[in-house]
Amino acid sequence: MKKVIYSLFVLLLASCANRVTPTGGEKDVEAPKLLVTIPENKSIHFNSKEIHLHFDENITLNDLQGQFFVSPLMSKLPEVKSNKREVIITLPDDLALNTTYTLNFGKSIVDVHEANPLDNFQYVFSTGDFLDSLKVEGNVAEASTAVALKSITVLVYRKSIDTKEDSIVFRKRPDYFAKSNEKGEFKIDNMAAGEYRLYAVDDKNSNYVCDSSGEEPLAFMDSTIVLPGDEHPILRLSNLEPAAPRFLKALRLDRYSAMISFNKRIDSLVLKNLEGTSWMGLKYSLANRDTFYFYSPDTLSDSLSLLMYDGDKLIDTLLQNLMPPAGVVGTKTRLRINPRQSPASFGPSTAFVFNANHPLQLKLDSAEVVEDSSKAIRLPLQMIDPTTGFFKIDYPWQNGKKYKLTIFPGAIRDIYAITNDTLKLDFLVPTEENMAMLSIKTQNLDSDKNYLLQILSEKFELIREMEINKDSTYTFSYLNTVPIKLRIIEDANRDHRYTYSHFAQKRQPEKVFIYPEPITLRANWELEVVFVAPQ
């Protein structure tokens, strides 16, 4: 395979000008000019009921609801109207004493003809003896992807002796707030000296608090910030992990099996009958442990009546009718076999892995493999985990070879003595010339921590993953030639997945490091990149 070292180039682009027929004058690209404000901008001892802004041309208001906001919040939003060359703001009667207010217009003031906006105009006034002049600037990003987030509400609270201060973001509107821009940046001007708590929330219903329903992602800081100061906070927005597990739904899968899902991870799910005796079926969960599959010793009844525990702590009582899944007709139950990992996708050194929809009996038969129309070979089916129904076929697959694989009826038997139907698969093991190879050299990782090194699609969908715990060079072979992203997750709780924040425990979302540039893989090339984790 050919080899290339990844590097970045700056391309200089030149453009050619084309002659066009004059259109009757240059297009107006100038924003409206503010001529005078009454009262004067940045006034102190402010006691006016109205503010008048006068411009050099006719203006109108655009997207006022999305662009205009006042910090700190007033008892109600001022009334804002436009009249030819004037904007008139009517204020509520109950302005706070000794307070500096900032009216942020964003891009809402535009000229009538070309809609040129007056960018980020602010009108500031104080009801006291002076204008507060301090500010805080920072960034908001999505925690798991580090993508800058627009229109996120940053909430700022003065530190107080409130005994419920830790939950203030869920029950009280802030003292100051701002909205993040397209780059995820936020700035709050005209703040008073003091100590503050900062939060960011995807405020879907614009009520300036985080709703405890869990529908609004939240970011919070581990400590307060002090003004004046030079701290530049970065707020990582994350879904909140629920404080307590809660049952979500149950679904019948077939005559013998059903699925239960919860709102969060359950480390030790225990099922009991209503009288308190242990439920005698079989259950398991995959890595996320928020969804459990369970299998009754006999045919499931049309309803479930179970007590659900996390260890010895009761979660909920399950009393639910079980509807058959959509599309299921009749009572016949089949043993279904699905491919989960194939040498057609991962290369010749990969075992062919399958998964059944029921737990399996330990004894498995064999499969038939035909390589490029040669003589058939019988290969044993090797058990991986009978409870989850995983088994595999090992074989020295060859690059560029075509294979026909057949698992005959009766080769696999589940715990209900149901056997499989015929399964036939035709596949091609790719050659190195058709696939890409990627070598990733990591730097600055902490050898005392666990990490997940991930290859992702442009939409952050997982393609490949590897658990690592030190700096080294890690190689991924047989990759498709598509644009990719690289991510390293600091797996702090070692649960082999990304973990969101937990507000009650003051636990931040797990750290992620994103490789700064997208990467395009090429067939028959080994690409080498150096991934430096920020300190």
Q: What is the mean pLDDT of residues 461-477?
A: 96
Q: What CATH fold (topology level) applies to the domain 337-430?
A: Immunoglobulin-like (2.60.40)
CATH code, 247-321: 2.60.40
β-bridge mates for residue 456, sequence order? 462, 485
Rg (CA), the chain: 31
Task: Please state the domain extents for the chain.
Answer: 34-126, 134-237, 247-321, 337-430, 434-532
Note whether 304 and 319 are within 8 A (CB): yes
Each residue's pLDDT tens digit, 94-137:
999 999 999 999 889 999 988 899 988 999 999 999 999 999 99
Each residue's pLDDT tens digit, 345-386:
999 999 999 999 999 999 999 999 999 988 999 999 999 999
Q: Name the pTM for this structure.
A: 0.80
What pLDDT, on a 0 to 100 scale, did the predictor assign at position 73? 87
Residue 28 has pLDDT above 80, yes or no: no
Q: By CB neighbour count within 10 A (0-12 exposed, 13-18 middle, 19+ buried), where does 42 fall?
A: middle
Note whether 137 and 185 are within 8 A (CB): yes
Q: What CATH fold (topology level) applies to the domain 134-237?
A: Immunoglobulin-like (2.60.40)
Note whether 70 and 78 are within 8 A (CB): yes
Residue 12 CB contacts under 8 Å (≥ 6 apart), including other chains: none
CATH number of 434-532, picked from 2.60.40.1080, 3.30.70.360, 3.50.50.100, 2.60.40.1120:
2.60.40.1120
What pLDDT, on a 0 to 100 scale, did the predictor assign at position 333? 83
What pLDDT, on a 0 to 100 scale, did the predictor assign at position 213? 57
- Common-topology check for domains 134-237 and 337-430: yes
Q: What is the mean pLDDT of residues 440-469?
A: 96
Range of weakest confidence among 12-21, 249-258, 441-450, 451-460: 12-21
- CATH architecture of the domain 34-126 equals Sandwich (2.60)
Tokens of 240: 């909140």
* More confident position, 10 or 450: 450
The DSSP string of 322-353 is: -PPPTT--SS---B-EEEEE-HHHH-TTSPEE
* More confident position, 17 or 54: 54
